[in-house]
Structure 1
C-alpha cells in the first residue's frame, strides 16, 4: 500500500507571511497607552504598580511577537526544504529520454 503526501509550498509561504503580519500587529501593541492618566491614580504605589505592569506587558508582547515571527521563519524553511526534496525527486525519478 502506498501513501501520498503532498505539500503545497505556496500555502506554507502564505502561512509564513501571515505569521509575519501577525508579528507586526503584535509588535505595535505597546504598554504606553496603559500608562495614560496614571498621575491621577492617587498614590505612588498605584503609579509604581502601573509602571511595573506596563513594563512586563510590553516585554511579554515583545516575546510573543518574536515567537510568532520564528514560526513564520520555520514555515518558510520547511517550504524551501519540501521544494528542494521535490526538485531532487524529479531528477532522480525522471524517466530517461
Structure 2
C-alpha cells in the first residue's frame, strides 16, 4: 500500500471543511436578518469532497467509522474526524 501524500490530503480535507462550514446567510445592508446558519456549498458539492475525505480517513485513521451514525445530515461526524486528521498529518505518510 502506498503512502498518502500529506500535503494533498490536508488540502482535500481543507476543501471539505470549507465547503461544509456553517455560515451566516445575512447580507449587511439588506435589511433582512436571519437567525440561522447555512452550509457554504450545496450537498452535492460537499458529497464529492466527503467521498475523498472518507478515503483519506480510511487510510490514516481507520477506526473513524466505528461509531459513525447512520445519518450524518450536517456532516458533523465526518467534520469531527476530518479535523482530527488535520491535527495529526504525520500519521498518513
Tell me the TM-score range normalised by the shorter chain.
Answer: 0.3 to 0.5
More strand by share: 2
TM-score (norm 1): 0.34
TM-score, with normalisation over the residues of structure 2?
A: 0.36
Per residue, is there more helix in 1 or in 2? 1
